[in-house]
Each structure stands twice: as C-alpha cells, then as structure tokens.
C-alpha cells in the first residue's frame, strides 16, 4: 500500500538530507561555512528550526526514522545552494510502498514535462525524462527512462551533471555517446549495450542515431552508504582527519600508505595474476579450477549475506577462508587481505557452508573488476554459463570495481525457470524480449493480479522486489503466439546496504 500521495510535490526529509550530505562530503566541503543557505527565514517553521542549527545539523536529519516530508520547491531551493541540479530530486517524488514488489511500465512513469520543474533545471535539450511513480520503501535506487528526440545532425542530449554513487545506462534502442567532461572519455553505446560508472564523474548522454533513442537509467545514490564505496571513502577521510588532529600531519601520507599497502598488496597481487590470465584470452574460458577474480566484490556480497542471515552459514569452515577486518578503513567489510579460495567447481554445487547462496550469485566474481567506468557490449562481452533446466545465465566479462550490485542476462526457454533463491537487497528485471513472471515461495506475497509481477517486452517497463523473500523467475507465455519465444531479461541485483540494515533491525524486533 502506498505511504504517500503519488502527486509529485513532496519528498522525504531524510532522503533530501542524505542527498545534500553526499554532495557536500564528496566535494571535500568540511565545515558549515562551505554552504550558504539563501534566505533561511523563508522556510516553513520546522525546516527553519533545523536550518537554524546549521547545515551539518540539518544533514543529520537523514538519520530520522519518522516519515517527515518536505515540499519539493523547498528541496529544490536547498539543492541550488548546494549546487545540485533540480533534476536530481525528481526520482524521490515517487510514492513509497511497503509492498514487496513494484512492477511499472514506462507508460505509467510521470513525465518531467508534466511536473512543475522550472526551466533551466538540468533537463538538457530534446531530452524527455520519465521517472518512476512508485518505489519500494528503503530502496536507494532510482529508475529513469530517457528518450532523446533529436537526430544525428541535431542531437538530443542531457546536461552535464554528476551525483554521488553509481549509475547504469542501458540502451534500449538507438545509439548515444556517453561523455565524461573531466577525463575527455567518449563512449558510443548501441542497442542493449550498457555502461556502469562512478557517477561523481561529470557525465552527459548525447544522441548519435537518427531514429528513436531510448535509455534505461538506474542511479544508486548511496545516501545511506553502510558497506558501500561511498562509505569506504568516508571512512578513509575520517582516518586522515584523526591522524591530522593528532598532530601527525607530516607522517599522514606515510602512515596511511604503509597501512593500506600492507593489507591490500597480497590481494592485489592475486587480482593482477588472475586478471592478466583472463584478459590475455580472446574470450575467457572457465573450467572447474578457475578461481574467484573479483575478490573485493565477492567479499562484499558475502559480508551482506553473513550480516543478514548469520545462522545459515558454517562459520567454522568459512573462518578458514574469510576473516573480518579489525580496522575501520574497510568499514568492517570482510578483510580483503585474506583471499577467497573458491574455484568454479566449489560454487557449482550448493555447499552447506554457504547456506542460501546459490551458484549463479557467484558467477560475476569470476571476472575482473575495472575502476571508474565499465562498458559491456551486447554482441561480445557476455560469457554464457552452461544451460540448466531451460535457463542460461550470460554474465559480463567485466564488472565495475567497488560496485554494490551485479548484472547478468537471464535467458528462459518456454517452461524455463530459475531455482527458488534469496539474497540481500533488491533484484530488478528489465525485459529485453519475451515475458516473465516472479513467484514468491510464500504465496501471500504474490499479488493476486499477475500483471503486478509480470514483465513483458510488449509493454516495456521494469520490475523490482525485495529479494530477501525466496523467489523464482519463470518464463511466461501471454498468448499462443509467444509460447515458443525465448525470454531475455536484464537482471540487476543490488546488495542494498540501507535496506539490509532495515531488515536486520526488523528481525531483531521479532
């Protein structure tokens, strides 16, 4: 059931505060003098009371659990003082729901042209943005549909912008160029290609094709970043500040360098060795002896599993392979200096020591991670894992380093389905072709209206759900004409830390 009106005029105060805090922290703006609030007395009484205490105190409202709302016009005004484009606030206008699943065709998104967004709000030129009108409570991912309506000669484009966290741009159809202003890197994306990147890099999408150009954009702001890359950066900054306050300015660089190198070097050497072996091949070929390559990414996933379901693991066996860090630099993630000794043969079977972690969840970590920008071409950059029971997972041969999500393409033949499984965070599905339906093992979680858990390329849109609930994705034939059609789904799993923390607290209450 919705928790607030879907009319785009209010957002949650805690999410606004998280967005403001993330922008200021990333810019290295420490202290209240770095942001000046214009005309603070003109804000409503409760907001004014927070502002009177200073911007740092205002940003702490991100820790509020009460559902306090703020009018969008006040959020935009505050954002401008922080240098945040109005465009960034639109996804937070979606109605929040406590349901376990949200399914929404693009035609039900709200159109930026129909909102009261002022001119010069960062919308670009010949660019039509649509934003989801419903979203899951506690989820820190925003879904945007962008259509560039120009031509190759007179291209549509988004304004250059940046924000905290990660972003995924998946080309639905047409061609566009992703441009990064600082580095000068330009990347052409075509049908079903995607790019994933650190979105603190100023970026812009520019139309290349004459025909329609559509993109699915997913922003993961990391507003409440426990366990994320943004939190790791914040922890490193905190350590530096502590050292400087202790009068160790002249030794800070040396101390931090030695500390990090001593702990990361063993893992880095293994990463280089394994990555070099894979990257030297025209196309990676896995066998039973192949080892986990993305050690840090796999550590992060296991960390989330262990934290959410600690009783479902054989800790005695796991302790020989994975040990927790004793320092705050890695935000208490599993220690990256202790390599995970897992072969492909190890993860192909459902071992008791890994409890509910099904084999496909390990697949992405057998390939190297790359920093800052990861581009995956639909024609050449997927590795097909062996078909099982009419389902095939195709996994990208590279992934974004430090990302809190994994991506795959799932192919389901008629009557094909995944095994029942669960994992922390959320799972998102976009239908490239065909149709699929999500079933929860707990039948009470299944909406009676099958359209609320069905995705189809005939009605483009997206579906996402809380993946802590045991679930299964099944091929669906809407009619006799598509009974033989293979369903292809873009599957994105977010190991969403903020949502996990909420679930842990709820479990503790029980």
pLDDT at residue 331 in the model: 35
What is the distance between the alpha carbons of residues 466 and 102, in angstroms, rounded to a whole number?
A: 9
For residue 382, report the phi and psi dihedrals to the nearest 5 degrees. -120, 145
CB 323 within 8 A of CB 302: no
- Rg (the chain; Cα; Å): 23
DSSP symbols for 63-79: G--S--EEEHHHHHHHH
What is the distance between the alpha carbons of residues 32 and 24, in angstroms, rounded to a whole number?
A: 10
CB 175 within 8 A of CB 212: no
Digits of tens for pLDDT over the chain (510 positions)? 333 334 458 888 888 888 888 888 777 654 555 788 888 888 988 888 888 888 888 888 887 777 788 898 899 999 988 888 888 888 888 888 888 899 999 999 988 765 555 555 567 899 999 999 898 887 878 899 999 999 999 999 999 998 888 999 999 999 999 999 999 999 999 999 999 999 989 999 999 999 889 999 999 887 765 556 666 666 665 665 665 566 554 554 555 455 544 544 455 555 555 555 555 556 667 888 888 888 878 878 887 887 788 777 655 555 544 444 333 333 333 455 566 777 888 887 655 456 678 889 999 999 988 888 999 999 899 999 989 999 999 999 999 988 888 999 999 999 999 999 999 999 999 999 999 999 999 888 888 888 889 999 999 999 999 999 999 999 998 777 677 899 999 999 998 656 655 565 555 555
pLDDT at residue 40 in the model: 87
Nearest CA to 438 out of 407, 180, 426, 156 is that of 426
DSSP symbols for 6-25: -STTEEEHHHHHHHHHHHHH
366 Cβ neighbours under 8 A, 6+ residues apart: 286, 290, 291, 292, 293, 294, 344, 395
pLDDT at residue 329 in the model: 32
- The residue assigned the tokens 């937070």 is 92
pLDDT at residue 308 in the model: 82
In 402-496, which ranges are E strands?
Answer: 405-412, 426-433, 435-440, 454-456, 461-466, 471-475, 487-494
Nearest CA to 385 out of 419, 423, 359, 405 is that of 359
User: CB-side exposure of 259: number of CA atoms within 13 Å?
Assistant: 16
247 Cβ neighbours under 8 A, 6+ residues apart: none
The burial of 252, by beta-carbon neighbours within 10 Å (0-12 exposed, 13-18 middle, 19 or more buried), is given as middle
What is the distance between the alpha carbons of residues 191 and 211, in angstroms, rounded to a whole number?
A: 12
Residue 373, CA distances (Å) to 168, 198, 292 in order? 10, 7, 21
129 Cβ neighbours under 8 A, 6+ residues apart: 87, 90, 111, 112, 123, 144, 145, 146
Whole-structure pTM value? 0.86
Q: Which helix (H) or strand (E) holds 96?
A: strand 95-97
Nearest CA to 147 out of 460, 385, 376, 441 is that of 460
Nearest CA to 20 out of 98, 80, 79, 104 is that of 79
What is the distance between the alpha carbons of residues 62 and 59, in angstroms, rounded to a whole number?
A: 6
């Amino acid at each position: 059931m919705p928790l607030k009106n879907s009319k785009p005029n209010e957002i949650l105060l805690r999410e606004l505060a998280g967005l403001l805090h993330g922008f200021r922290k990333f810019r290295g703006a420490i202290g209240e003098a770095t942001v000046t609030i214009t005309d603070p007395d003109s804000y409503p009484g409760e907001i004014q009371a927070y502002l009177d205490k200073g911007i740092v105190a205002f940003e702490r409202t991100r820790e509020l659990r009460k559902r306090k709302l703020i009018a969008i016009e006040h959020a935009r005004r505050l954002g401008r003082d922080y240098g945040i484009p109005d465009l960034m606030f639109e996804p937070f206008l979606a109605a929040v729901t406590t349901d376990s699943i949200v399914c929404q065709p693009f035609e039900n998104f709200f159109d930026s042209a129909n909102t009261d967004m002022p001119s010069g709000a960062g919308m670009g030129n010949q660019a039509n943005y649509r934003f989801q009108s419903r979203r899951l409570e506690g989820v820190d991912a925003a879904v945007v549909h962008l259509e560039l309506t120009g031509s190759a000669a007179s291209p549509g484009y988004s304004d250059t912008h940046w924000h905290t966290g990660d972003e995924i741009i998946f080309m639905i159809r047409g061609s566009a160029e992703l441009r990064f202003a600082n580095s000068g890197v330009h990347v052409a994306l075509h049908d079903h290609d995607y790019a994933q990147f650190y979105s603190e890099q100023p970026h812009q999408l520019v139309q290349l094709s004459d025909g329609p150009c559509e993109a699915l954009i997913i922003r993961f702001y990391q507003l409440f970043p426990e366990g994320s890359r943004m939190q790791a950066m914040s922890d490193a900054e905190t350590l530096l500040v502590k050292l400087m306050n202790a009068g160790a300015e002249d030794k800070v660089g040396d101390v931090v360098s030695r500390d990090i190198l001593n702990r990361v070097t063993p893992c880095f050497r293994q990463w280089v060795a394994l990555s070099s072996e894979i990257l030297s091949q025209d196309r990676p070929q896995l066998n039973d002896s192949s080892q986990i390559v993305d050690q840090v990414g796999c550590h992060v996933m296991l960390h989330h599993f262990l934290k959410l379901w600690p009783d479902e693991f054989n800790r005695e066996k796991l302790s020989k392979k994975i040990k927790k860090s004793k320092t705050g630099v890695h935000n208490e993630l599993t220690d990256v200096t202790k390599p995970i000794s897992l072969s492909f043969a190890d993860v192909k079977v459902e071992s008791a020591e890994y409890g509910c972690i099904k084999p496909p969840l390990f697949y992405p970590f057998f390939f190297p991670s790359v920093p800052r920008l990861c581009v995956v071409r639909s024609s050449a950059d997927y590795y097909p894992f062996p078909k099982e029971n009419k389902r095939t997972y195709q996994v990208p041969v590279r992934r974004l380093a430090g990302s809190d999500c994994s991506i795959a393409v799932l192919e389901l033949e008629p009557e094909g389905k995944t095994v029942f499984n669960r994992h922390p965070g959320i799972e998102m599905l976009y239908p490239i072709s065909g149709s699929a339906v999500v079933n929860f093992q707990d039948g009470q979680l299944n909406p009676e209206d099958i359209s609320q858990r069905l995705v189809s390329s005939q009605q483009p849109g997206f579906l996402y759900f809380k993946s802590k609930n045991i679930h299964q994705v099944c091929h669906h034939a809407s009619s006799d004409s598509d009974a033989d059609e293979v369903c292809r789904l873009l599957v994105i799993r977010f190991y969403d830390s903020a949502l996990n923390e909420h679930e842990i607290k709820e479990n503790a209450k029980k």
